Amino acid sequence: MRFAKNRLRTAAATATAVALGAAGLAALPATASAATTGLNVQYRTSATGATADQSEPWIKVKNTGDSSVQLSGVKVRYYFKADSASATYRFACSWAVKGCANVTGTFGTLTTPTATADRYLEIGFTSGAGSLAPGADTGDMQLRFYQSSWQTLTQSDDYSFGASQTSYGDWSKITAQLAGNTLWGTAPAGNEPTDPPTDPPTDPPADGATLFDDFNYSGYSDPRISANGWNVRSNSGGPGVPGATWAPENVTFSTTGGNSIMNLETSTAGTAGTTEQTEVLTKATKFKNGTYAARVRFSDAPRSGPDGDRLVQTFFTINDLTAPMADNYAEYDFEYLPNGGWGEPANILYTTSWETYNPDPWQAVNQHTESRQSFSGWHDLVLTIDGSSIKYYIDGQLFGTHDAAYLPERPMSINFNQWLIDLAGQTSTTARSYDQGVDYVLHIKDQVLTPAQVTTKVNAYRSAGTTFQDTVPSS
CB atoms near residue 318 (< 10 Å): 20
pLDDT band, very low/low/confident/very high, at 87 (cuts 50, 70, 90): confident
Residue 209 DSSP one-character state: S
Q: Mean pLDDT throughout 250-271?
A: 93
What's the pLDDT score for residue 43?
A: 97
What is the C-alpha to C-alpha distance for residues 387 and 393, in angstroms, rounded to an integer?
18
What's the pLDDT score for residue 179?
A: 78
HSE (side-chain half, CA atoms, 13 Å) at 30: 0
Q: SS3 helix, strand, coil % of the chain, rounded to 5?
A: 10, 45, 50
Q: Please tell me which of 93-97, 267-271, 397-401 the model is most confident about, judged by mean pLDDT.
A: 267-271
CB atoms near residue 119 (< 10 Å): 22
What's the pLDDT score for residue 197?
A: 34
Beta carbons of 378 and 390 less than 8 angstroms apart:
no
Nearest to 199 by CA among 77, 35, 24: 24
What's the pLDDT score for residue 29?
A: 37
pLDDT tens-digit readout, 341-363:
999 999 999 999 999 999 999 89
pLDDT tens-digit readout, 165-202:
999 999 999 999 987 789 999 999 887 765 433 334 44
What's the pLDDT score for residue 206?
A: 52
Q: Mean pLDDT throughout 216-235?
A: 97
What's the pLDDT score for residue 88?
A: 84
Percent of the chain whose predicted confidence (pLDDT) is above 70:
89
What's the pLDDT score for residue 107?
A: 86
What is the C-alpha to C-alpha distance for residues 298 and 342, in angstroms, rounded to an integer?
18
What is the C-alpha to C-alpha distance for residues 219 and 254, in angstroms, rounded to an integer?
9
What's the pLDDT score for residue 17?
A: 29
Beta strands in 179-243 (DSSP E): 181-184, 210-213, 230-232
Q: Mean pLDDT throughout 284-311?
A: 97
Beta carbons of 284 and 318 less than 8 angstroms apart:
no
Nearest to 404 by CA among 388, 417, 392: 388
Q: Mean pLDDT throughout 449-470?
A: 92
What is the C-alpha to C-alpha distance for residues 153 and 146, in angstroms, rounded to an integer?
7
What is the C-alpha to C-alpha distance for residues 106 and 354, in angstroms, rounded to an integer?
15
Residue 301 DSSP one-character state: S
Sign for the CA dihedral angle at 397, 400, 404, 410 comes to: negative
Q: Mean pLDDT throughout 5-19?
A: 32
Residue 91: is its pLDDT beyond 70? yes
What is the C-alpha to C-alpha distance for residues 253 and 260, in angstroms, rounded to an integer?
7
Residue 131: is its pLDDT beyond 80? yes
Residue 283: is its pLDDT beyond 70? yes
pLDDT tens-digit readout, 26-76:
333 333 444 578 999 999 998 999 999 999 999 999 999 998 999 988 999
Residue 209: is its pLDDT beyond 90? yes
Percent of the chain whose predicted confidence (pLDDT) is above 90:
74
What is the C-alpha to C-alpha distance for residues 384 and 391, in angstroms, rounded to an integer?
5
pLDDT band, very low/low/confident/very high, at 207 (cuts 50, 70, 90): low
Residue 14: is its pLDDT beyond 70? no
What's the pLDDT score for residue 11?
A: 31
446 three-class SS: coil
Alpha helices in 96-244 (DSSP H): 223-227
Residue 436: is its pLDDT beyond 70? yes
CB atoms near residue 65 (< 10 Å): 18
